């Protein structure tokens, strides 16, 4: 089967972010900030790939008296959607890098209804990840773009970080991932040297963190909880940041736990490599 023919760059036209803005953002970022993002990218590549095969087929003869053929290959495109309130370079990388590592050839980062300058950390994160295509599009333009892509016969996925179910039309060859999590985080510190809280603040500037345990200076926007570990566990919702020897307890409560050295990282726990594959299956009567 021939690959669908389309150009995301042509389809979005003048809405594309100019290359010069990526270079400008990179120049404005500090060495330490870029190091945090590079670490996040490296962790995600280790977790998701990179994928070495371009397609696969599995033929099976079943005891029940039938044969099956399963074919799979990376989808033709991926759209990563977010809005103007989205400012986390780590969470953006956690959507973009898996698509790249899993072999998706056409990837577009879309800021929905965006106006004005892009946050420099987001552009720098994309520059470091090798993501060259980004655009400001309205919800209507995104829906139209998806319909245009469907007209080519392309298969695709949408990673909707904006939480906008109204944006993506229902299509048989389009899968949508929409992570939902409590935008808060609970931190427990055993001592002053446990974590780089400034790095955590840079990577997740829109998460409301509450710090329990050791009494240390806090970045702007962080709140102080109690000193008791039990109080910390009661506070945990989706995200916990703890020393390595407390990870088991935190995993009983949180969906994502980050230990020391992972302050700039993020992964969506339920976003798996198979999401980026398009599957075909045939069942026939066996011999």
Q: 97, 74, 70: which is closest to 4 by C-alpha? A: 74
Q: 4 falls in which pLDDT band (50, 70, 90)?
A: confident
| Arithmetic mean of pLDDT over the chain | 93
Greater confidence (200 vs 52) lies with 200
Question: What confidence score (pLDDT) does residue 171 get?
Answer: 87
- CA–CA dist 267, 98 (Å, integer): 9
- CA–CA dist 23, 9 (Å, integer): 19
Name the least confident of 50-54, 122-126, 178-182, 251-255: 50-54
Predicted TM-score of the model (pTM): 0.94
């Amino acid at each position: 089967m021939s690959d669908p023919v389309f150009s995301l760059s042509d389809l979005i036209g003048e809405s594309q972010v100019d290359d010069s803005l990526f270079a400008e953002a990179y120049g404005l970022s500090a060495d330490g900030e870029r190091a945090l993002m590079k670490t996040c990218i490296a962790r995600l590549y280790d977790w998701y790939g990179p994928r070495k095969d371009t397609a696969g087929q599995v033929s099976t003869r079943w005891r029940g008296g039938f044969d099956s053929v399963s074919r799979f290959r990376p989808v033709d495109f991926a759209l990563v959607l977010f809005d103007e309130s989205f400012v986390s370079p780590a969470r953006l990388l956690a959507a973009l890098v898996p698509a790249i590592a899993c072999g998706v050839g056409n990837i577009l980062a879309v800021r929905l209804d965006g106006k004005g300058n892009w946050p420099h950390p987001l552009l720098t994160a994309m520059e470091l990840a090798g993501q060259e295509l980004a655009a400001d599009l309205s919800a209507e333009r995104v829906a139209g773009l998806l319909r245009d892509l469907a007209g080519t016969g392309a298969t695709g996925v949408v990673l909707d970080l904006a939480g906008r179910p109204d944006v993506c039309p229902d299509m048989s060859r389009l899968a949508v991932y929409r992570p939902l999590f409590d935008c808060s985080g609970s931190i427990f510190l055993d001592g002053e040297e446990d974590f780089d809280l400034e790095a955590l603040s840079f990577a997740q500037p829109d998460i409301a963190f509450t710090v329990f345990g050791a009494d240390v200076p806090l970045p702007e926007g962080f709140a102080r909880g109690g000193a008791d570990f039990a109080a910390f566990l009661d506070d945990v919702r989706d995200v916990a940041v703890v020393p390595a020897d407390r990870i088991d307890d935190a995993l009983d409560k949180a969906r994502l736990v980050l230990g020391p050295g992972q302050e700039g990282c993020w992964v969506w726990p339920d976003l798996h490599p198979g999401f980026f594959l398009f599957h075909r299956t045939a069942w026939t009567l066996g011999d």
